[in-house]
């Protein structure tokens, strides 16, 4: 299968000449076994045990960090497509056994990487500030496939919504901290439409209202139109918007 593992056969030969000189040589040889196998599950537990014994390494107590690193790399590789197939899940279970990885270590790696994948997916679907039904179903399915606890997934979604809001504010003249805490500081918006002034206003408000649902008042501060051959090709507006004072 090679990727994400490297064939370290040449290093393995050196390690067999100088057994016990380099504790990492056992991990290197195990990685070569994984790289040359069609699937992780094809690597026999007895074969890995023989490698560890030959190098004088207790796989249950030594080389914890490199063992975790091998597992992490394979798990990241499995999640490139943001999904875990039944075959990949089986291989992950087998790899945990081969590496004598503690359940707590495997869970820590799982939660970290699954959280990164889910957070990245949240950012992508919220690029337009909107979470439509199809995108919501996608995130629900993804959190299930990643086995993310609802509390963790909900927190990551909330963080993603906040990041999307910050990205929106970075494109405006307002700072979110000032705008959201002040009833007087307006949000500066621009919009354009080839159809009408109303269309330009709606364009200016589209992302703003998704990022800041509490927008309540607007003031059109500027209207202009691009004229070509005696007709307006595009209407452009500049707005000031205020929050609902509640």
Per-residue pLDDT reduced to its tens digit, 156-183: 998 898 888 777 766 664 444 444 445 5
Q: Which of 67-71, 119-123, 204-208, 232-236 has the lowest mean pLDDT?
A: 204-208
Q: Cα separations (Å) of 48 from 38, 97, 106, 168?
A: 16, 10, 19, 52
Homologous superfamily assigned to 176-243:
Flavin-binding protein dodecin (3.30.1660.10)
Name the percent of the chain lying above pLDDT 90.
Answer: 46
CA dist 222 and 200 (Å) reads 11
Q: Which two tokens stand for residue 41?
A: 């599950």
| Domain layout of the chain by residue ranges | 9-101, 116-170, 176-243
pLDDT tens digits for range 22-55: 567 889 999 999 999 999 999 999 999 999 998 8
Specify the pTM.
0.65
CA dist 169 and 208 (Å) reads 9
User: Which band of pLDDT confidence, cut at 50, 70 and 90, is reported for residue 119?
Assistant: very high
Q: Which two tokens stand for residue 245?
A: 């004072």
Name the percent of the chain lying above pLDDT 70.
Answer: 83
pLDDT tens digits for range 47-74: 999 999 988 888 888 889 999 999 999 9
Helix axes 45-54, 24-36, angle to 10 degrees: 150
Q: Compute the C-alpha angle 95/98/101, nearest 5°.
A: 75
Helix intervals (H) in 18-85 = 24-36, 45-54, 64-78
Q: Which two tokens stand for residue 12?
A: 């393995």
Residues comprising the chain, all counted? 246
């Amino acid at each position: 299968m090679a990727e994400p593992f490297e064939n370290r056969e040449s290093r393995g030969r050196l390690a067999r000449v100088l057994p016990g000189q380099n504790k990492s040589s056992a991990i290197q040889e195990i990685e070569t076994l994984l790289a040359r196998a069609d699937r992780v599950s094809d690597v026999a537990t007895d074969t890995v045990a023989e490698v560890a014994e030959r190098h004088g390494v207790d796989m249950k107590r030594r080389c914890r960090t490199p063992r975790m690193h091998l597992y992490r790399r394979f798990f990241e590789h499995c999640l490139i497509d943001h999904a875990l197939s039944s075959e990949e899940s089986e291989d992950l279970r087998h790899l945990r056994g081969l590496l004598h990885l503690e359940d707590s270590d495997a869970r820590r790696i799982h939660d970290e990487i699954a959280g990164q994948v889910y957070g990245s997916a949240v950012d992508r679907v919220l690029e337009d500030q909107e979470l439509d039904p199809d995108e919501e179903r996608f995130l629900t399915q993804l959190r299930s496939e990643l086995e993310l606890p609802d509390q963790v997934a909900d927190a990551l979604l909330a963080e993603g919504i906040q990041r999307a809001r910050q990205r929106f504010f970075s494109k405006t003249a307002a700072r979110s901290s000032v705008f959201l805490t002040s009833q007087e500081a307006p949000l500066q918006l621009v919009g354009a439409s080839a159809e009408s002034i109303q269309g330009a206003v709606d364009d200016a408000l589209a992302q703003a209202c998704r990022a800041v649902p509490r927008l309540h008042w607007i003031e059109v501060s500027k209207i202009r139109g691009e004229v070509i051959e005696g007709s307006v090709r595009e209407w452009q507006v500049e707005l000031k918007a205020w929050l609902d004072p509640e």
